Structure 1
C-alpha cells in the first residue's frame, strides 16, 4: 500500500498562508507599507486602482535591497528580523514572519524594483503565482517599488468573495489611516485611479490626527501623557461633549503598532462614565511605549492582537491618566502654536497712523418732532398687500368646518399586524410626563412611546422617499461646510445617491470637504452636517453591500435623529396625528430595530390592581 502523506508544493503552501495573511486588497497595502517603514523610508507613495483589485503600488525611498536579498525576500519564512527564537519576544519592527511577500506573490502578479544607495544599478524581479518569470539589472531610484496586479487571479473563489469597490476602498483607507497615525514623521501620498486624493507631509502627532480627521478635530483633543516604570502612555482623548452614539475614532497603538484591546478600552470608558451618556462612545488616540520583552505580538497572523505581561497594572494607570486629563482640561487653556492655519500677528509699527472712522449723521433729524417738520419724509410706495388676501375666505370656512368635525375613532393597521389587538381608540389622548401618549381602547389602556412612534412613522416615510427618489429639497441660504475624515470621505460615495434621494445636495470642495447646499424640507432646522456624519458612521458600522440594507440604515438613522424627542409637550392635534399615522404603518407595534412602541394594560389587570 503506497504512502498517503506527502509535502505540499511551495505554491500551494503559499496560497494557504495567503488565506491567513492576505484577506483582501487592504491586507496587501498594510504589509507593503509596513515593509517600507522597516526599510527606513521617509516618503511613501501608495497608488491603487479599482479599490486594489487590479493594481496596488507602493513606492518608498528606503534603503532598498540587493539582487540576492530581493530574490530571498519571496521565499517562505525569509526575514531579516529574526535570528533566534528569543528574537520573537524583543521585536521593534513591523513585519517579521517572512510570510507576507511570498503569500502576496502566490495570488497575484508582482513586479519589484529595488536599489541600494551604494549600488549603481537596481534589480527587477517579476513573479506570477509564485513562479519567477524574470530577474535582471535595471536603472532604478534608491528605495523599492512594488507593484501588485490582479489579486487572487488564480484563486477565483477568493476573488468572488471580495466586497464592492466602495467597501474595499473603505478597508484600504482604514489600514492606511492606522499606519499614518502612528508615523507622523513620515510623508505619505495616496493616489487613486491616477488622481492624488491625500497628501500628508511630515508633522507632529496632533497635527497628523488633524490632517486625517479634519480641522474640527483640533478643538476636541485633550492630551494625555504619563510615564512609569512599566512604560509610557501618551496621546489624545476627545472631550466628553464630542462623544457620539455611532461610530467614533478609537485607536490603540503599542510600540508603533495598531492593536485591538477590549480590556484597555474598558479602562477608557470607565474614566468617561460619569461624563457621557450610557449609549455614547468616547473617541481616543492612545499610544503605549513598553519594553518589547513584556508583550507578545505573535498570537495572530495580522498582529493586531497583543498580549501584555502587566495588563492589570497598565489598566489602572491608563484609567487614572484619562481621568486626570479629563479633570483638568478646563482648568488651563492651551494654545496650539504648531497649527498650520494659525493667524499671523502683526508687529506694532509706531510710524504708521490710523485714521478716525467716519460716521454719517443727519443733523436735521429730531425724533421728538412730528411728521410735519421741515425735513421731508420719504414716501412709502403702496404695494397693495390687501389684494393678496382675497380668495382666502372660502378656504378659511373649509378649515373651520374640518376642525369642527369629530375625528374618526377606529384605526386599523394597514398591514394587519397580528401582534396588535383590535382597538377602538378614543378621540381623547393624554400625554404622560412628555414621554408617553395614553389613550383608551376596548381592551384597556394603551401606552404609546411618542419618540419611538415618530421614529416608525419617519422611517417609513424616508424609506419610501429613498426608494422612489421623491425627497423634497430645501435650499439653504448659507451652506454649511461638512469636513470629513479620510475614512468617512471614502464611505460617502456609497450612500450619496440615497442622500440625494432624501433631498440632500452636496458640492465637493476638495480635501474631503463638502458644502451642504440643500437639505430635506422636513429637517431644515436641524444640524445637517451632524445628520450626514451620523448616517455615514451608521453605514460604516453596518458595512453592508446590499442596497436595501444601506437604504434602511440611512432611513433609520435619519428618523432617529429627527424624531420628536422626549420632553416635548404635544398638543391634542399633534397626538392625534401621531396615533393616526402610526396605525397606518404596516408594523405599528415595533420600531425598525425591534424596540416596543405600544403596550396595552388590560381592563382585568387594572381591576386586579384596584382591589
Structure 2
C-alpha cells in the first residue's frame, strides 16, 4: 500500500426504513439514523472483531514471540488432523516389552494386610489413621442426625418440640385445621381461589333438604372454587373444584358443610364464607392417628406459629400447650 493511501470499502446495512431520516441533506447524500449510537456500536464491534480475527492490527506487546503468529497463507490451507502412533504389543508388566520393572512381592503385603490377619508387616500408623477417620466420620454423622431432628410424634396424635423455656405439645389435627382455615378464608375473602376444570363432572346425590342447603350456599361455593353446573331435586353436578383439593375429597367436604349448617357449629358468626372455610379445614385437616414424617411435623409446627391466631382451632379448642422446664423440675422435688 502506497504511503498516505487507504483502501476503499463499502458497508451494507439492512435496517428498518422507518428508522432512517433522509431529509437531512438537500442532495440526499446523507441520512440520519434514529438510533445512531447503536448502529455505531455494532459497526465498531464487527470491524474490531474482523481485524482481530486475522491479526491485522499491530499489537503493543513487546514480549510477543513473532514465531507464534499465523502466516496469512495458512488461513486458506486445510488443517490435517494429528496422528497418534501406538504399540499394540506393549505390556507395562513385561520387562521384555520395555515396561517398568517393579518388584511386586515387596508391594503385596501392604495390600494383603486389609484382608489377612496373618500379615505383620503392615504399617501400624496407617492402620491407626484409617481407624481414626472411621471413628470421626461416625461421630460426625451422629451429631448431624441428632441436631437435624427438632420434633417427634407422640402416639401419632401430638407433635412435640423443644423451645428455650420448655416443651410445646401440638395437636396435629387441630393445628392443621387452624392453618387450613386461615388459608381458605384469606383466598375466599380476596376472591383469589383458583379452580381446576374437571374432565369428567362429579355428580353428588343428596336428599331434597340437603340440596336446599347447598342451593343457599351456591354463590359462596362458587367463590370458594366450586362451580355447580346443575342443581336438581336430588343431584348436584360440579364442573370445577378448587385446585387445592383432590376429587376424592369433594364428597367429604360437602358432607361436612351440610353437617355444620344443620348442627350450627360452635362460634358460627352467620358468615357463610367463614362457615365454608371452617368446614373445608375440618374435612381436609390431618387426622389424629396418622404417622407424620419429620418434614411434615416441622411444616405443621412452623405454619401454625405463622398464623394470625395460632392458639385456638376454628372450633375454639386449644391447638397446643406449653410445658415449662421449671414445671418439669418441680415434679421431681
Q: How does 1:18-167 map to 2 (within 5 A)?
A: none
CA distance, structure 2, for counterparts of residue 435 and residue 526 of structure 1: 24
8 Å contact kept, 1:588–1:597: yes
CA distance, structure 2, for counterparts of residue 551 and residue 471 of structure 1: 13
Other-structure match for 2:177: 455
Please give the alpha-carbon distance, in whole angstroms, between the structure 2 residues aligned to 1:468 and 1:610. 52
Alignment partner of 2:276 out of 550, 554, 557? 554
Provide the C-alpha distance between the structure 2 equivalents of 1:570 and 1:455, rounded to a whole number of angstroms.
16
Q: Which residue of 2 aligns with 1:535?
A: 257
Distance 1:569 1:530, change over 3 A: closer
Structure with more strand by fraction:
1
Q: How does 1:312-391 map to 2 (within 5 A)?
A: none
Give the aligned partner of residue 475 of structure 1: 197
Task: Report the secondary structure of 1:593's partner residue.
Answer: coil
The 5 A counterparts of 1:412-427 are: none
Q: 1:543 to 1:492 in 2, by over 3 A?
A: farther
Aligned match of 2:107:
none
Tell whether the 8 Å contact from 2:211 to 2:233 is kept in structure 1 after alignment: no
Q: 1:493 offset after TM fit, Å?
A: 2.6
Matched, 1:440 2:188: no
1:515 aligned counterpart, secondary structure: strand
SS for the counterpart of 2:248 is coil
**Is the contact made by 2:230 and 2:238 (CA closer than 8 Å) also made in structure 1?**
no
Distance 1:570 1:453 in 2: 14
Q: Does 1:430 align with 2:135?
A: no
- Tell me the secondary structure at the aligned position of residue 523 of structure 1: coil
Provide the rounded CA distance (Å) in 2 between the counterparts of 1:576 and 1:554. 27
What residue is the counterpart of 2:209 in the other structure? 487
Q: Which runs of 5+ in 1 are unaligned?
A: 1-425
Equivalent residue, structure 2, for 1:567: 289
For the residue of structure 2 that corresponds to 1:507, the secondary structure is strand
The alignment's C-alpha RMSD in Å is: 2.4
Greater relative CO, 1 or 2 (CA 8 Å, sep 6+): 2
SS at match of 1:498: helix
Q: Specify whether residues 502 and 449 from structure 1 end up closer, same or farther in structure 2 by C-alpha distance, changes over 3 A only.
A: same
1:480 Cα deviation after fit: 2.3
| TM-superposed deviation, 1:527 | 3.2
For structure 2, list consecutive stretches of 5 or more residues without a partner in the other structure: 1-147
Confirm or deny: 8 A CA contact 1:488 1:537 kept in the other structure. no
Residue of structure 1 in register with 2:93 after alignment: none
8 Å CA contact 2:252, 2:283 repeated in 1? no
Check the 8 A contact 1:481/1:529 in 2, yes or no. no
Relative to structure 1, the CA distance from residue 483 to residue 525 in structure 2 (aligned partners, 3 Å threshold; closer, same or farther) is: closer
Measured after TM superposition, the shift of residue 538 of structure 1 is 1.8
Counterpart residue number, 1:599:
321
Q: 1:591 to 1:472 in 2, by over 3 A?
A: same
Find the aligned partners of 1:511 and 1:465 in 2 and give their Cα distance: 31
For 1:466 and 1:575, the matched residues in 2 are separated by: 27
More helix by share: 2
2:311 to 574, 586, 589: 589
Mapped partners of 1:605, 1:561: distance in 2: 36
Contact 2:215–2:231 at 8 Å: present in 1 too? no
- Name the counterpart of 2:221: 499
Distance 1:506 1:584, change over 3 A: same
Residue 510 (structure 1) aligned with residue 217 (structure 2): no
Q: State the Cα distance separating 1:541 from its structure 2 match.
A: 3.4
Query: d(CA) in 2 for partners of 1:610 and 1:526?
Result: 50
- Looking at structure 2, the residues matched to 475 and 565 of structure 1 have their Cα atoms a distance apart, in angstroms, of 28
1:525 shift after superposition: 4.7
1:464 maps onto 2:186 in alignment: yes
Alignment partners' CA distance in 2, 1:509 and 1:596: 38
The verdict on how the C-alpha distance between 1:427 and 1:549 changes in structure 2, with shifts beyond 3 A counting, is farther
**1:601 offset after TM fit, Å?**
1.0
Cα offset, 1:543, TM superposition:
9.9
Change (3 A) 1:525 1:482: closer
TM-score by length of 2: 0.51
How does the TM-score come out when normalised to structure 1? 0.29
State the SS of the aligned residue for 1:489. helix
Pick aligned residue for 2:248 from 526, 541, 546: 526
- 1:526 aligns to what SS in structure 2? helix
1:543 and 1:489 map into 2 onto residues whose CA distance is 19
Give the drift of 1:427: 6.9
Distance across 2 between alignment mates of 1:497 and 1:531: 16
Distance 1:609 1:459, change over 3 A: same
Counterpart of 1:364 in structure 2 is none
Q: How many residues align?
A: 185
